[in-house]
Structure 1
């Protein structure tokens, strides 16, 4: 049943979609015409036409000369071959290409050429889909076995892998909050490795927990910065260098006033020092400095 907030065309489309999903309308069957929908639902012709257009956009029906609008052939086979793995693969492709906000059950159904209701036989809903997407990414990019020796090597392995995942799948940062992490065993292993590495250092339990939060928060914060840059590029159609060019005159005027001498020094480096490439460099610098700090702390307290 369609949510009550949807309009009449969406409610009509939802009703027809459900009939296709449960087999009441099969491949090749003619769906009600616009005139019949007008009579049955008491709506305007434009509303009935819009309802059928929704189903056409989703790939559920097609216009056939002499037969009107019919259920597309091959839908039953598509639903029969549908698997959770296939759903996740397409969801990740859409998220990688267009962002997490572009992933919806209706969009997935259209891409998979199945009725939206058939997805719910494999995934309970959007919340479960997102957790499964996180698990799929971490599962396909596992931590190496055996575990590297030495606490620093272990931490470098964990957080360089995390950064690669965030850069390959920027939307991942929206689903992996440090303080409210998803219950994804494949991702939880990263935390386990972190705590195992920190156990080699002479840190009190409270400090160990704070470090175990600070490290992923550092990487996650940079990943969110990369995600916002990608969103900005999509919204403005301008790469970082192009955006800086649009504000160059105004920025130069501010810097020439003498109030920001250190920022003026940075201006000479150009826009290449920022943007996504700059964040990659910032990650390596931040991780190295943080681990150097832990090394110094371990030496002061006599840890290994």
Structure 2
């Protein structure tokens, strides 16, 4: 029985994939390329690729096209593992370096590949897309400064240490805080260890599980929120050449004119005495947050005695 055109095209591409001629991550002919090569209609070309997709041999990559799936079988004896951990680590570290320097807006698979001297399509053998890459970057960033194996004494000191480490990470990687989203959290194991650390610190203090979880996530969200402006500030500094401090200094005359109108008397009075900075705002907010947790504690943990 004569095969329909879409089946013959799918069969030819299937053979090339299974023989290893097309390896995981390699791009397969587009629908337009299929119509031109085999002289078939667009609907036939689409059906051929749909057949391969249903068989799990290919997958669509936004902005790239249809590529051979990582799980596609191959008989090529020299084929490399589709997800070599060492190669993936190099990709992630290169992406972090780019994001540290320029933010994530211009971070693309093509740009990362260029930094590594690799074909763009080869990256897709190790990382599915930009979304997965950013998730791996987030986890690697948190892994770069792990929590200590021996925590300090006292729940408050433990939470302060976790917050300090997070803040240092956000300062070192301005893109990190915006990459996180508490509404749709990334499953980043090294980042989640900060939640685990906080839960352990609050255990045995008379707080129920719901309160402890809310406290742990609120602390995580507070530190992230304090750092959320880091990337826009870095981007503004790069584009304008003016630092945040320089920008604030340039607004002093306008601020003085506004306050001189007398419509904001309390603001004007307090502004004359207050000394606001990113550090003072962070420390004040953190102290208030921890004071609020302390007010809910009903059990005093007995001190640890040496043997």
TM-score, with structure 2 as normaliser = 0.65
Moved more, 243-252 or 214-223: 243-252
Find the counterpart in structure 1 of residue 116 from structure 2: 112
* CA displacement 1:178-219 (0-9 Å, x = unmatched): 232211111111111111112232223333232222211211
Find the counterpart in structure 2 of residue 291 from structure 1: 290
Task: Check the 8 A contact 1:178/1:220 in 2, yes or no.
Answer: no
User: What's the CA shift for 1:267?
Assistant: 4.8
Find the counterpart in structure 1 of residue 159 from structure 2: 155
Residues 233-244 of structure 1 mapped to structure 2, 5 A cutoff: 233-244=237-248
Match of 1:96 among 79, 97, 100: 100
Match of 1:136 among 133, 136, 140: 140
Find the counterpart in structure 2 of residue 210 from structure 1: 214
Larger relative helix fraction: 1
* CA displacement 1:72-129 (0-9 Å, x = unmatched): xxxxxxxx9x811211111111100111112111111111122111111221111111
Match of 1:185 among 178, 186, 189: 189
Q: Distance in 1 between matches of 2:282 and 2:271?
A: 21
Task: Check the 8 A contact 1:95/1:171 in 2, yes or no.
Answer: yes
Judged with a 3 Å threshold, the aligned counterparts in structure 2 of structure 1 residues 264 and 189 are, in CA distance, closer, same or farther, namely same
Residues 220-231 of structure 1 mapped to structure 2, 5 A cutoff: 220-231=224-235
**Residues 1:261 and 2:287 aligned together:** no
Q: Distance in 2 between matches of 1:87 and 1:114?
A: 10
Q: Distance in 2 between matches of 1:245 and 1:151?
A: 40
Residues 55-70 of structure 1 mapped to structure 2, 5 A cutoff: none
User: What's the CA shift for 1:226?
Assistant: 2.9
State the aligned residue count. 222
Give the RMSD, CA atoms, in angstroms.
Answer: 2.8
User: What's the CA shift for 1:171?
Assistant: 0.5
Judged with a 3 Å threshold, the aligned counterparts in structure 2 of structure 1 residues 302 and 147 are, in CA distance, closer, same or farther, namely closer
TM-score, with structure 1 as normaliser = 0.65
Q: Distance in 2 between matches of 1:279 and 1:200?
A: 34
SS of 1:131's partner is helix
